[in-house]
Amino acid sequence: MKILVTGGAGFIGSNLIRKLVERGEKVISLDNYSTGKYENLDGVDCEQIAGDVTRVTDVHSAMKGCEVVFHLAASKKTVCQKSPWRDMEVNAGGALIVAQAARELGVKKVVHASTGSVYGEVAGWISESTATRPVSYYGVSKLAGERYMDMYWTQFGLDVTILRYFHVYGPWQDSSHIGGVVAIFIDNLLHGRKSTVYWDGYQTRSFTYVEDVVWANIAALEQTGGVFNVASAERIPVSYVIEKAAMMIGVEPNYRTTGLRIEGDIHDFNITNDRIKGIGIKFTKFDEGLAKTIEWYGSR
């Protein structure tokens, strides 16, 4: 197949492209390189196009002739706090442009990357049928993107499957301030720096290993429509990440808690992943994934 991956030079996108190329697919990456990196795809036999999902001409040019689109390009949560307008433009507007282009160009399948942030604060367990009430700019813009995709599915018959990611980590994740906490904590421990943990450190996350997310995307190709939580469903306190990583590396855990909550942040995620497991996805235990991630960062 000829496949387009938007955001292909990013963390998850580059991992997905590697797997697709291994499977013999012809892959095109579309990325504006605001956070993606050319080196993330070094040595990978794919076409890299510099372009933006908010520009119709860029999307049309990259998508032409493709049978499948994995739409991973997104404004990060760190961006939404600084520029809600850009966040909306990329996450909502970009999804609309991708959906319309896919319809016009006869794409057979779109797999759309969303986020657990669309649920907002939930007292009980989070399943795919849980009401969506986002409490952050990022959650709102990603939900708007979902709604556009769903509308193209129901009104125009564009086959779209939506995957809601939860706290993905693993190799190739950016360890700078725009990256994920697992990568940041590991990098700080390896270089003797103190980490900052917002809130109380006991807030729990469902850290999900990137390879599991990649397989969820590939499995979504065989689904018709549908929404799936892509989450390990383990409840891991943020402070545990530093303490366990420090033990694995052989150093002392070095961090401070601020007690301050980041606007729109949620204390606990209690997620059910029965639906995605029902199509054959198995999830890596956090300690195993953390060890693999440390090994990758340590070898760089």
Catalytic residue numbers, as ranges: 138
Kindly list the distances between the CA atom of residue 228 and the CA atoms of 36, 102, 121, 176, in Å, as whole numbers in the listed order: 25, 21, 19, 29
Per DSSP, the three-state class of 298 is helix
Let me know: does 118 contact 164? Beta carbons within 8 Å: yes
Q: Which of 225, 181, 204, 212 is nearest to 283 (CA)?
A: 212
Token reading at 188: 């700080």
Which residues are CB-contacts of 66 (< 8 A; sequence separation ≥ 6)? 2, 3, 4, 28, 105, 107
Which residues are CB-contacts of 22 (< 8 A; sequence separation ≥ 6)? none
Q: Which of 120, 191, 171 is nearest to 284 (CA)?
A: 171
Element housing 166 (H / E)? none
Per DSSP, the three-state class of 278 is coil
Q: How far apart are CA 50 and CA 30, in angstroms?
A: 6
DSSP per residue over 171-196, as a string?
Answer: TT---STTS-HHHHHHHHHHTTPPEE
Residues in the chain: 300
